[in-house]
Amino acid sequence: MSALPSMSGKDDATGLKAYDVVVVGAGFAGMYMLHRLRGQGLKARVYEQGGDVGGTWYWNRYPGARCDVESMQYSYSFSDELQQEWNWSERYAPQPEILKYANHVADRFNLRGDIQLNTRVDRAVFDEDTNTWAVATSDGKTVTAKFVVLATGCLSNARVPDIRGLKDFRGEVYHTGHWPHESVDFTGLRVGVIGTGSSAIQSVPVIAQQARHLTVFQRTPNFSIPAWNAELTAEEREAFRKNYPEIRRFAREEARNGIYAELPDRGALDDGDNARRAKYEQRWEKGGLTFMLAYNNLILDKAANDTAADFVRDKIAEIVKDPETAKLLQPDNHPIGSKRICVDTEYYATFNRPNVTLVDIRASGIEAILPNAVRTGAKDYEIDALVLATGFDAMTGSVARIDIRGRGEKTLNQKWAEGPKTYLGLMSEGFPNLFIVTGPGSPSVLSNMIVSIEQHVDWITDCLSWMRGRGFGTMEASKEAEDKWVAHVNEVAQLTLYPQANSWYMGANIPGKPRIFMPYIGGVGVYRRICDDVAAKGYEGFAMTAKERAQAAVAS
């Protein structure tokens, strides 16, 4: 296999340790990237700020944390041995099991030697004379690399809202996205949860079982579909394993969201009321994210969407006994699916428990946190512990925390001040040899993340091999290609109902963040074909510079 000339981690002329590639993050993206780079004979170094591998699954260890994609599918496909030998225990694996899987992968593929834990990448500066990146880390060291790959994750920068008095609270404050590693016991405590997104919807039922009293502060209700989680039988696992070639192919090429599932062949308004209700009932009974696949126009046509939203609102009213609470839990300000659908176990039913209270803060917000209470609507709710299930600075947050400087010392944050700009979500013009895995402008969070991660990592690896084969040393997205892609991403999003919601997809959960629909909505199959086509045309839209030419330019 061809490879870039490896610098084998030796010191370069500046005396700094030199790598072919620095990878930021050792989650599922960073680990697979390292595996593929090694396969090319490249010397790579992975920096991970966490104390172990696993990325989002290292940090998100709140009670009830699970993946919302079924585990037989939320798993790597690059190694058939791996997918045949690993035994997922449940339909939706709990976080500890996903983390165990990540650790298993690190050991099985012998990755740990090139992963430096507990080390944040603080700064990456492109040197236009040498066409290398200088990467500074939190241990005070600087290394150089020909390429940098940001495998920083889309939902890894936990967001603590700016609420008055938060720091004066006397009890413990937890964030679902940054949960402590030691066990947290709420037994006998009055607990407050702020937020009602996926993380709250998973944790509320579990916390309610422990806490003396649980008060949930809700600003916006969300649609949630039951997971119907259960243990996987040996037969179920075997059925997947036997059919993995087709399941994985379908997920990559045909499913828009990277999940193998029965696809709809008609729109919601093509069926009469009874048939439609039966279809929704069937999808509800199946459970999970694929509820939105009941019909093919649910995210395109508001009238169609309303039928699905009404169905779920009716379900909420059936489950929740107190009509006032049921009403508050019924989402009414966004189309179903325009925010990520939640997948739960007994979320709505939890509000029937005598020790759980739902507080509507839509009008007043949280006015203040007092040393022993949450104040809202001029009323104080006494609590002993507070859980912030307040989400993430999604998609760009983790990238923005790194001081990245490209050509002319321009920072990526300056360039993205009005919203992220990328070509294919993979590269940003002005930042040569800097790749982003599942970056904004790619399907990423609208898909089974592992499908999208594998596609990006494979594409990047093939690209590096292609460059080496032709003597290219530098690659950069062209402004024209990037502008066209950004416009296309926006244009496609506007054809759907997604922009109608104040979602983190739109950056709407972060005050001051530009309102731009960040992921690419065209579907993983379409997107893969576009990326493959770009590669087949000699990486159309990317400027490649030959190593010799770059060196000659430096010399003159």
Residues at the site binding ligand NAP, with contacts judged by CB under 6 A: 66-68, 155, 161, 163, 176-177, 194-200, 202, 219-220, 340, 343, 361, 365-366, 389-392, 445, 504, 509
Residue 86: count of CB within 10 angstroms of its CB: 20
Q: Which residue has the tokens 């999003």?
A: 493
Q: How far is the CB of 276 from ligand NAP (least distance, A)?
A: 27
Q: Which two tokens stand for residue 547?
A: 């190593």
Q: Which is nearer to ligand NAP, 27 or 177 (CB)?
A: 177
Q: Which two tokens stand for residue 242?
A: 């036997």
Q: How far is the CB of 150 from ligand NAP (least distance, A)?
A: 19
Please classify residue 530 by burial: count the beta carbons closer than 10 Å to its beta carbon, then call 0-12 exposed, 13-18 middle and 19+ buried: middle
Distance CA 206, CA 347 (A): 9
Q: How far is the CB of 44 from ligand NAP (least distance, A)?
A: 28
Q: Which is nearer to ligand NAP, 345 or 474 (CB)?
A: 345
Nearest to 25 by CA among 503, 441, 449: 449
Q: Which is nearer to ligand NAP, 117 or 361 (CB)?
A: 361
Residue 45: count of CB within 10 angstroms of its CB: 23
DSSP code string of 154-173: SS-SB-----TTGGG-SSEE
Q: Which is nearer to ligand NAP, 200 or 518 (CB)?
A: 200
Q: How far is the CB of 503 from ligand NAP (least distance, A)?
A: 8
Nearest residue to ligand NAP, using CB?
Answer: 197
Q: How far is the CB of 229 from ligand NAP (least distance, A)?
A: 11
Distance CA 547, CA 556 (A): 15
Q: How far is the CB of 222 from ligand NAP (least distance, A)?
A: 7
Q: How far is the CB of 257 from ligand NAP (least distance, A)?
A: 12
Q: What is the 3-state secondary structure (H, E, C) of 58-96?
A: HHCCCCCCECCCCCCCCCCCCCHHHHHHCCCCECCCEHH
Q: How many helices (H) and strands (E) does the chain have?
A: 16, 20
Q: How far is the CB of 391 from ligand NAP (least distance, A)?
A: 3
What is residue 326's three-state secondary structure?
Answer: helix
With contact defined as beta carbons under 8 Å apart, do 381 and 398 qualify? no
Q: How far is the CB of 198 from ligand NAP (least distance, A)?
A: 4
Q: Which is nearer to ligand NAP, 53 or 366 (CB)?
A: 366
Q: Could you tell me if residue 125 is left (phi over 0), alpha (psi between -120 and 50 degrees) or otherwise beta?
A: beta
What is the pairing mode between strands 342-344 and 224-226?
Answer: parallel
With contact defined as beta carbons under 8 Å apart, do 32 and 78 qualify? yes
Q: How far is the CB of 221 from ligand NAP (least distance, A)?
A: 8
Q: Which is nearer to ligand NAP, 137 or 290 (CB)?
A: 290
Tell me 5's DSSP state.
P
Q: Which is nearer to ligand NAP, 75 or 390 (CB)?
A: 390
Q: Which is nearer to ligand NAP, 461 or 509 (CB)?
A: 509
With contact defined as beta carbons under 8 Å apart, do 355 and 204 qualify? no
Q: Which is nearer to ligand NAP, 219 or 241 (CB)?
A: 219
With contact defined as beta carbons under 8 Å apart, do 161 and 448 qualify? no
Q: Which is nearer to ligand NAP, 61 or 248 (CB)?
A: 61
Q: Which is nearer to ligand NAP, 118 or 333 (CB)?
A: 333
What is residue 359's three-state secondary structure?
Answer: strand
Distance CA 541, CA 268 (A): 39
Interhelix angle 302-319/273-286, rounded to 10 degrees, is: 60
CA 15 to chain centroid, in Å, comes to 37
Q: How far is the CB of 309 from ligand NAP (least distance, A)?
A: 16
